[in-house]
């Protein structure tokens, strides 16, 4: 199921992408009310854009523009729209994503080759531990991808460890598709209910939504905890509604593979220029083959690093390292650039910490301040020092850390309407 283009040379991949890019530009130049206006206002002759370097001359698309002009991005009449998806917008109202029949086929293809990348075969059975409804794209993509690949799928949905285990024992799935932190709940349930994890049918998990690796591809604290409790293979996947494309790890665990037939990926600095090889920057994407809502140079807000050396799996495609953080959440603290996930990792290293909340604010000097509120089993000065030392060792800086009551902290972490706990409040 590995597409030929993935093992082609970098030059061949580039040439292939340039042809696909030209088709994409011609399509949006004809069908997208939004991009037609952008091209007209900026006096852009799209037929002059022939290479990936030329692409850099075109304007970028931001989340705000997508939100404010939502309908103008839709390139097909209503009758052609099959599925409606929403994604959280930057300005309150959710952004609508429309998918045509062709887009659903593309989504199925994307997920099938991504699963194949994660060593899933037609004989495998996958347990879907995420929701398929609520206007989400991901769950539907996983279902369509498994179907296209010919693998079995059990749609359990999110949560309820007891039902998940009931399904595992009944249907013997070989893969789980889940948020990795939920695997800890699965391990806890199994341990408390006499289920022998070593004898389970599960051999791997496709981990969505949370990173499982450090930047050098070693397991992070969360993944180490999972592996200690349950020795299954973990595959990271990174995707978003706007991309309608996944970057899945292969068996070599060296970053999420790029699918050149589905998306063009650029990594840009603060001035919207290409970063130097191997530097962290914002992922900016151009979708390929999307019919209803194609996006040109869309800024994802995710800070990533690209890896371009050939992968031992035989694919030559670029790989994305774990998401370092959200661009908006970048913190400049005492001369160091930090992202919240790195702080989560440090805090998660302590068994004694029950929960935490990180507050980022601006001080009188206009620079960033970090306050970490923690609820811990041991509220001693010694323990506080231990945590601070660990911050210094891992991140070179020590933020302000305070002990708080667990109940009080959890009230802040679980506001009404929130789909998941909040670990960060950004007051800047
Ligand atoms: Zn690989």
| Distance between Cα 321 and ligand 1 center (Å) | 12
- pLDDT reading at 420 higher than 80: no
What's the average model confidence in pLDDT over 237-252? 96
Mind listing the pLDDT tens digit for each residue in 292-333? 999 999 999 999 999 999 999 999 999 999 999 888 888 988
Name the token pair of 169: 């024992």
Spatial contact of 316 and 8, defined as CB atoms under 8 Å apart: yes
Kind of pairing between the strands at 152-155 and 125-128: parallel
Give the Å distance between the CA of 98 and the centre of ligand 1: 31
Q: What is the pLDDT of residue 364?
A: 83
Query: Is a pLDDT exceeding 80 seen at residue 337?
Result: yes
How far does the centroid of ligand 1 lie from the alpha carbon of residue 311, in Å?
Answer: 5
pLDDT at position 418 is: 65
CB neighbours of 274 closer than 8 A, spacing ≥ 6?
A: 56, 266, 267, 268, 281
Outline where DSSP puts E strands in 210-294. Answer: 233-240, 245-249, 256-257, 263-268, 280-287
Q: Does residue 280 register a pLDDT over 70?
A: yes
Please check the confidence at residue 89 and state whether its pLDDT lies above 70. no
Q: Measured between alpha carbons, how far is 222 from 348 in angstroms, rounded to an integer? A: 7
Band the pLDDT of 90: cuts 50, 70, 90. Answer: low
Distance 342 CA to ligand 1 centre (A): 25
What's the CA-to-centroid distance between 235 and ligand 1, angstroms? Answer: 11
How many residues does this entry show for the chain? 428
pLDDT of residue 309: 92
Are residues 324 and 275 in contact, defined by beta-carbon separation less than 8 angstroms? no
- CA 237 to ligand 1 centroid distance, Å: 13
Asked if 70 contacts 61 with a C-beta cutoff of 8 angstroms, the reply is no
Q: Find the 19 Cα to ligand 1 centroid distance in Å.
A: 25
Q: Could you tell me the distance, in angstroms and rounded to a whole number, from the CA of residue 249 to the centre of ligand 1?
A: 7
pLDDT at residue 232 in the model: 98
Residue 130 Cα to ligand 1 middle (Å): 25
Could you tell me the distance, in angstroms and rounded to a whole number, from the CA of residue 319 to the centre of ligand 1? 8
227: tokens are: 């592996």
Question: How close is the Cα of 118 to the center of ligand 1, in Å?
Answer: 9
More confident residue, 419 or 170: 170
Q: What percent of the chain has pLDDT over 90?
A: 82
Residue 207 has pLDDT above 70, yes or no: yes
- pLDDT, one tens digit per residue, over 23-49 is 999 999 999 999 999 999 999 999 999
Q: Which among 63, 83, 68 is positioned nearest to 134, based on CA atoms?
A: 83
Give the pLDDT of residue 240. 93
Q: Which residues of 104-141 are buried (b: 16+ CB within 10 A; e: fewer)?
A: bebbbbbbbbbbbbbbbeeebbbbbbbbeeeeebbbbb
Residue 236, pLDDT score: 97
E-strand spans in 345-403? Answer: 353-362, 368-376, 400-403
| 121 CA to centre of ligand 1 in angstroms | 16
> Which secondary-structure segment (H or E) carries 395?
helix 381-395
pLDDT of 199 higher than 70:
yes
Query: 158 CA distance to ligand 1 centroid (A)?
Result: 29
Specify the pLDDT at position 156: 96
Burial class (CB in 10 A: 0-12, 13-18, 19+), 363: exposed
Cα–Cα distance, 333 to 126 (Å, whole number): 43
CA–CA separation, 63 and 30 (whole Å): 22
State residue 367's pLDDT score: 86
Q: What is the mean pLDDT of residues 105-123?
A: 97
**DSSP code, position 327:** G
Residues with Cβ < 8 Å from 383, sequence gap 6 or more? 352, 376
Phi, psi of 355 (to 5 degrees): -160, 165
> Mean pLDDT, to the nearest integer, of 334-348?
87
Q: How far is the CA of 254 from the centre of ligand 1 (A)?
A: 7
Residue 11 · residue 19 · CB < 8 Å: no
Residue 16: predicted pLDDT: 97
Q: Is the pLDDT of residue 76 over 90?
A: yes
Spatial separation of the C-alpha atoms in residues 232 and 238, rounded to whole Å = 19
Name which of 43-57, 238-252, 391-405 the model is least confident about: 391-405
- Residue 391 CA to ligand 1 center (angstroms) comes to 33
For the entire predicted model, the pTM comes to 0.88
Confidence band for 75, pLDDT divided at 50, 70 and 90: very high
pLDDT of 419 reads 63
Q: How far is the CA of 6 from the centre of ligand 1 (A)?
A: 10
CA 342 to CA 331: how far, in whole Å? 11
CA 316 to ligand 1 center in whole angstroms: 8
Could you read off the pLDDT of 143-154 as tens digits, one per residue?
999 999 999 999
Q: Which of 315, 317, 295, 297 is nearest to 306 (CA)?
A: 317
């Amino acid at each position: 199921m590995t597409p030929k283009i993935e093992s082609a040379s970098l030059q061949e991949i580039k040439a292939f992408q340039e042809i696909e890019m030209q088709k994409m530009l011609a399509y949006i130049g004809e069908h997208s009310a939004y991009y037609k206006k952008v091209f007209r206002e900026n006096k852009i002759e799209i037929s002059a854009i022939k290479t990936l370097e030329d692409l850099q001359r075109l304007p970028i698309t931001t989340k705000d523009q997508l939100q404010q002009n939502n309908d103008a991005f839709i390139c097909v009449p209503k009758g052609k729209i099959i599925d409606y998806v929403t994604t959280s917008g930057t300005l309150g109202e959710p952004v609508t994503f429309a998918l045509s029949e062709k887009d659903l086929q593309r989504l199925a293809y994307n997920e099938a080759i991504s699963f194949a990348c994660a060593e899933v075969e037609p004989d495998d059975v996958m347990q879907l531990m995420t929701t398929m409804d609520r206007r989400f794209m991901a769950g539907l993509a996983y279902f369509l991808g498994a179907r296209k690949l010919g693998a079995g799928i059990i749609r359990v949905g999110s949560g309820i460890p007891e039902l998940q285990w009931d399904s595992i024992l009944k249907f013997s799935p070989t893969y789980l598709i889940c948020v990795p932190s939920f695997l800890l709940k699965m391990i806890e349930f199994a341990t408390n209910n006499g289920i022998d994890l070593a004898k389970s049918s599960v051999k791997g998990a496709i981990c969505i939504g949370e990173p499982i690796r450090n930047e050098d591809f070693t397991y992070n604290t969360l993944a180490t905890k999972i592996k200690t409790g349950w020795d299954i293979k973990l595959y990271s996947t990174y995707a978003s509604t706007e991309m309608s494309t996944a970057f899945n790890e292969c068996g070599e665990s060296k970053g999420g593979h790029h699918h050149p037939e589905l998306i063009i990926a650029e990594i840009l600095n603060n001035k919207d220029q290409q970063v130097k090889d191997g530097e962290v920057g914002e992922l900016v994407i151009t979708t390929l083959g999307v019919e209803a809502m194609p996006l040109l140079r869309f800024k994802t807000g995710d800070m990533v690093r690209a890896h371009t050396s050939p992968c031992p799996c035989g694919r030559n495609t670029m790989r994305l390292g774990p998401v370092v953080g959200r661009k908006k959440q970048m913190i400049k603290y005492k001369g160091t650039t930090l992202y919240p996930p790195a702080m989560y990792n440090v805090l998660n290293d302590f068994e004694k910490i029950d929960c935490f909340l990180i507050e980022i604010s601006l001080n009188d000097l206009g620079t960033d301040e970090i306050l970490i509120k923690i609820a811990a089993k041991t509220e001693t000065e010694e323990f506080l020092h231990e945590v601070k030392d660990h911050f210094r060792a891992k991140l070179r800086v020590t933020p302000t850390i305070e002990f708080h009551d667990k109940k009080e902290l959890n009230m802040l972490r679980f506001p009404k309407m929130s789909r998941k706990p909040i670990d960060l409040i950004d007051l800047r």
